[in-house]
């Protein structure tokens, strides 16, 4: 089906010169935006696992911190199926070093609520963030995060 659509588009382009110019401009713009190298989107950060071992993590800008940590096996992907705050129960809680917290947007009310709801003392750790809510950018290159031990009630 996709091949036939492309063939139709190609025939329209050759038949109609004005259509050919506008579609060439669109194709050029879209290919220019996707031609960025993966290495330009690479974000390298450090994660300290529950055993205290510091690992270098490679991720892509635009990915969530949760995705980067699950790809490296630091967070169990089955414990957090969705990257929606409404479905989150803080299994993806991470602790972020102070100097990097200042570079992140402040946590939303919903994120604070989830973190507070799932802490035993109902007091939020000032370094705690939900990995599913932290979107990686080039400015976070070298960020240090700690993955806490899973809480007893989080272990499947």
Local structure of 136: helix, strand or coil: coil
Q: Which of 26-30, 47-51, 63-67, 136-140 is least confident?
A: 26-30
Q: What share of the chain is helix, strand, coil (3-state, %, to 5)?
A: 45, 15, 40
Q: Which of 17-26, 44-53, 64-73, 145-154 is least confident?
A: 17-26
Q: Please write the tens of the pLDDT for every residue from 7-41.
A: 555 666 556 555 444 444 444 333 444 546 777 88
pTM (two decimals): 0.68
Q: Which of 91-95, 99-103, 129-133, 137-141 is least confident?
A: 91-95
Cα 24-29-34 angle, rounded to 5 deg: 125
């Amino acid at each position: 089906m996709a091949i036939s659509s492309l063939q139709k588009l190609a025939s329209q382009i050759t038949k109609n010169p004005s259509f050919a110019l506008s579609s060439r401009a669109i194709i050029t713009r879209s290919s220019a935006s996707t031609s960025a190298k993966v290495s330009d989107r690479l974000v390298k950060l450090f994660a300290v696992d529950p055993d205290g071992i510091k690992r270098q993590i490679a991720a892509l800008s635009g990915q969530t911190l949760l995705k980067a940590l699950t790809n490296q096996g630091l967070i169990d992907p089955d414990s957090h199926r969705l990257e929606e705050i409404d479905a989150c129960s803080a299994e993806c809680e991470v602790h972020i070093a102070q100097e990097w917290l200042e570079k992140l947007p402040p946590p939303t009310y919903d994120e604070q609520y989830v973190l507070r709801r799932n802490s035993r003392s109902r007091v939020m750790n000032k370094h705690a963030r939900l990995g599913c809510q932290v979107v990686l950018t080039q400015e976070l290159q070298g960020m240090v995060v700690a993955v806490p031990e899973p809480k007893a009630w989080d272990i499947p």
